[in-house]
């Protein structure tokens, strides 16, 4: 298996340096990762560094807590598209979810989806599965699956629990077949990466990507 093709090589720490982005993009091209996922201020830089390669440029919206206003997320989406992002990883409003305000979440995705799809970009929705009940995860699968997103993503990597095989299996069971799954958060070795893919993940968000490709235990924190 070419595991590199599943990986979004990621750096999202708030102290990210230009040199970090240069290294990330260089490694992405060298190993053939699917994408790099970078903080919004670095989208232009990553896009330039990856020019001529097949590696996509991804960024995050409403990251990491998701409670930005819909209007703020929309502004982030528009700027990311202008800057050249191919893929947008959007954190849902978890406060709305935990307060059982599914109408808010429906309104949020209905405002963001048309802009992203009109521009032909890929949308990945992050639900932070590690802090949700199975019932909440299933409701998310139903809501976002019906909305027509491209990927449902497990985690930001900033919650107390990241990706799990159980969550990915639950996603796959309750999502429409055309909606893909991105597992992220705490994926640091090849064995766990393979388990997530076997469970149904078609993308992996990792900062320990090089170690994973080499089949080694990584030390990166996403």
User: Would you name the residues annotated as active-site residues?
Assistant: 89, 153, 182
Q: Are 182 and 34 contacting, i.e. CB atoms less than 8 angstroms apart?
A: no
Q: Do you find a cis peptide bond into 64, omega within 30 degrees of 0?
A: yes
Helix (H) or strand (E) holding 153: strand 151-153
With 0-12 / 13-18 / 19 or more C-beta atoms within 10 angstroms meaning exposed / middle / buried, residue 88 is: buried
| CA pair distance 204, 48, nearest whole angstrom | 23
Q: Do you find a cis peptide bond into 141, omega within 30 degrees of 0?
A: no
Residue 25's Cα: distance from chain center in Å? 17
């Amino acid at each position: 298996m070419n595991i590199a093709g599943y990986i979004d090589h990621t750096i999202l720490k708030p102290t990210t340096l230009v040199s970090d982005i240069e290294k990330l993009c260089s490694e992405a091209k060298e190993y053939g990762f699917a994408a790099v996922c970078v903080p919004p201020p670095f989208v232009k830089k990553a896009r330039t560094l990856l020019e001529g390669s097949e590696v996509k440029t991804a960024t995050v919206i409403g990251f990491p807590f998701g409670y930005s206003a819909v209007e703020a997320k929309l502004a982030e989406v528009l700027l990311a598209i202008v800057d050249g992002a191919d893929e947008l990883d959007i954190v849902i409003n978890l406060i709305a979810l935990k307060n059982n305000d599914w109408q808010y979440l429906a309104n949020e995705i209905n405002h963001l989806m048309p802009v992203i799809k009109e521009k032909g970009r890929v949308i990945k929705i992050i639900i932070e599965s590690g802090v949700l009940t199975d019932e909440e995860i299933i409701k998310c699968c139903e809501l976002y699956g019906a909305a027509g997103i491209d990927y449902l993503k497990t985690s930001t990597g900033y919650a107390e629990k990241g990706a799990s095989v159980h969550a990915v299996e639950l996603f796959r069971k309750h999502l429409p077949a055309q909606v893909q799954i991105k597992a992220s958060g705490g994926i640091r070795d090849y064995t766990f990466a393979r388990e997530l893919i076997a469970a149904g993940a078609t993308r992996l968000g990792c900062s320990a990507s090089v170690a994973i490709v080499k089949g080694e235990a990584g030390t990166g924190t996403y």
